[in-house]
Amino acid sequence: MQKTGLLLFFLGICFMQPLAAQLRLPGFFSSGMVLQQQKTNRIWGWAAPGQFIQVDFMEKKYPAFADEHGHWQIFLPPLAAGKAGQLQVTAGVEKLQFDDILIGEVWICSGQSNMEWRMSWIANTYDDELKTAQNDQIRFVTLQKAFANSPQKDAIAEKPWSAISPTSLPECSAVAYFYAKRLQEQLKVPVGLVITSWGGTPAESWTSFEGLQPFSGYTETYINQIKPLDLQEIARRQQKNRETYALMVREKQPYLQSALQFDFDDSKWQQVQMPRPWEQQGLEQLDGIMVYRFAFDLPSALSGKAAVLHLPAIDDSDSTYLNGVWIGSDNQWNAPRTYTIPRGVLRKGKNVLAIRVQDNAGGGGFAAQPDKFFLLIQSRRIPLSGIGRYEMIAPFEQVESGPVPMQVQPAVLYNAMIAPLLPLAMRGVIWYQGESNANRAAEYRALFPAMIQDWRNRWGQGEFPFLFVQLSSFGKLQSTPVESNWALLREAQTMALRLPNTAMAVTIDIGDPADIHPKQKKEVGDRLAAEALRMVYAQNTAVSAGPKLIQFMAQGNRAVLEFEHAGSGLTARGGPLKHFAIAGADRKFYWAEASIEGNKVILRAPEVPIPVAVRYAWADSPVEANLFNPAGFPAEPFRTDNW
């Protein structure tokens, strides 16, 4: 072949190869998404620098050119709620198409684990909802967990936009779902949820570096310890480890299943005193899948009978088998297990309990609570603690970036899970967080409002509504009035209501002293929605929050409290009023006898002849506090002192 012909041949080959695709939109855009009604919506993305872009939407065309960095954007005019159909983006020969777009109300749903908590994780509580929920007018997208040491332009969707159905609902945040359900029922418009949350994370992680300027300790940490890290390399190594781990789990699945059977030979496995956490087995800094086997004997009189197995809390999740029969699973890391054993499973003589335990981060294994490891057969309690055997089936190697997990460092979650959303038009935010800041309540008084202001400043949508959940009840019940970090954190949350366009859902009555993740998420979502309907949509003229103290007076040996949001009169749910405490000048608090007179509560205590201060629901776990209004909302915890 002559040189000219050869050149033309290679040129032809080059032109036959398609150009590398460069047109893209943010990773959380997809078919089925919801755009905000009655606001200008920005559609943005990336293409080859200088390339012409055209967006076709609702029979109109919107042109743009990509800038020198390849970024482009167009702006859709405000639109009414309803179906919008197809959105098409074209750049040269490249074309992206998004179908079934709706216009409605878009809410950002953020915080830590109680916002993250999915419907599938509380399936026993909402079994009917999971089986029957079907609503094309409620849709959600869940962002993948990520951290970064600089603000990112894009984020990946772990779960793309999905309409509510029995197939999709298990993956939706429970609080967000019930919030949206109530809004959609009342507003009769589509509701879109953008879920961006991460369990066990503090407020400073969700605040930008600039927003943290009043908190020098956090900004110094960010400058000196976070900014210099190559987080992309850390993320790459983590992803590689996840892939290696997933492959290992698949390869060992047959062995894992055999290890859960009754007749498996575990004689070569290591012995361990059960129950105890991995760290007490000498297995610090270990994550992955471990199987425990524990043998015990039963007399013939108890064989074959129905029973209940009690296990202490297991970190993070378990799948439990008895004599090769699966009897239950749970993925709540700090909750004790209770599993029903059907008739015919228990045997005369030897029985084998096999428990698959998976730990994803932090501590792992069983809580060291032998008193919670037992069988209950016809009211007969059979302790099970003793020597068992274990084997690590599939270890998972975490990539550490320092002495504490990266996701709790300042600004890193804002950078990766909030900054990419800033161009998105939305109505407001619902927020459930605070557990991870409970030991720093004084700081939270300033930090939480700073985070809210930071988001408002950066979103550029004014003082948008910010609704949040006050910490629920969790921790040991107290027989006498005590000091409480969780009460102080609740007080700090209440102080954030000084910001405009904020509202708070009180949840002390639906907590669980033994579980930091209360299961009653519907009440949480409903209470947030009640405040949204009042404050945002002006559709709720009824009481939408619980009684709130407006005046405290000392009258002789009585303390008189006056409340707003009392409706037709205050009520005591389930018996006499509880959890009121009063103190005199000695600052020592005593439980008070309390009575209701309309919108007032009258307190007395024989130990306090002259009341000086009052506290209500001032404890980590004031689940017994029972002051309500007729609309069913609990009173806000409070104190009148500043001791």
Closest CA to 599 of 624, 576, 630: 630
Q: Alpha-carbon distance 55 to 513, whole Å?
A: 53
Please, are residues 468 and 504 in contact by the beta-carbon 8 Å criterion?
yes
The structural domains of the chain, with segments of one domain joined by +, span: 253-396, 548-639
Asked if pLDDT for residue 608 goes beyond 70, the answer is: yes
Please, are residues 588 and 483 in contact by the beta-carbon 8 Å criterion?
no
Q: Which residues contact 285 (CB under 8 A, 6 or more apart)?
A: 398
Q: Alpha-carbon distance 290 to 267, whole Å?
A: 16
Record the pTM.
Answer: 0.84
What is the tens place of the pLDDT at every residue in 131-181? 999 999 999 999 999 999 999 999 999 989 999 999 999 999 999 999 999
Please, are residues 582 and 591 in contact by the beta-carbon 8 Å criterion?
no
**pLDDT value at residue 231:** 82
**Predicted confidence band at 20 (pLDDT cuts at 50, 70, 90)?**
low
State how far Cα 258 lies from the chain centre. 35
- Look over the chain and give the mean of its residue pLDDT values, rounded to a whole number: 92
The three-class DSSP label of residue 416 is helix
Q: Which two tokens stand for residue 318?
A: 């378990």
**pLDDT value at residue 36:** 98
Closest CA to 101 of 186, 13, 166, 161: 161
In the chain, the percentage of residues whose pLDDT exceeds 90 is 84
CA distance to 130, 170, 174, 197, per residue, from 118 (Å) = 11, 6, 5, 11
Q: Which two tokens stand for residue 506?
A: 């009180």
**pLDDT value at residue 21:** 63
Please, are residues 123 and 389 in contact by the beta-carbon 8 Å criterion?
no
**Predicted confidence band at 556 (pLDDT cuts at 50, 70, 90)?**
very high
Phi, psi of 26 (to 5 degrees): -55, 150
| Residue 253: half-sphere exposure toward Cβ, Cα within 13 Å | 6
Beta-ladder partners of 376: 308, 381
**pLDDT value at residue 627:** 98
Please, are residues 410 and 221 in contact by the beta-carbon 8 Å criterion?
yes
**pLDDT value at residue 401:** 59
**pLDDT value at residue 399:** 67
With both helix axes pointing from N to C terminus, report the angle between 521-535 and 174-187 in degrees, rounded to the nearest 10: 40
What would the mean pLDDT of 507-519 be, rounded to a whole number? 91
Angle at 113 between CA 108 and CA 117, to 5 degrees: 80
State how far Cα 33 lies from the chain centre. 22
Q: Alpha-carbon distance 27 to 69, whole Å?
A: 18
What is the tens place of the pLDDT at every residue in 179-216? 999 999 999 999 999 999 999 999 999 999 999 999 99
Please, are residues 454 and 490 in contact by the beta-carbon 8 Å criterion?
no
Q: Alpha-carbon distance 287 to 365, whole Å?
A: 10
* Residue in the structure block whose two tokens are 């994550």: 287
**Predicted confidence band at 18 (pLDDT cuts at 50, 70, 90)?**
very low
What is the tens place of the pLDDT at every residue in 43-89? 999 999 999 999 999 999 999 999 999 999 999 999 999 999 999 99
Q: Alpha-carbon distance 257 to 289, whole Å?
A: 12
**pLDDT value at residue 560:** 97
What is the tens place of the pLDDT at every residue in 305-338? 999 999 999 988 899 999 999 999 887 777 789 9
**CATH architecture designation of domain 253-396:** Sandwich (2.60)
More confident: 245 or 96: 96
Asked if pLDDT for residue 404 goes beyond 80, the answer is: no
The three-class DSSP label of residue 436 is helix
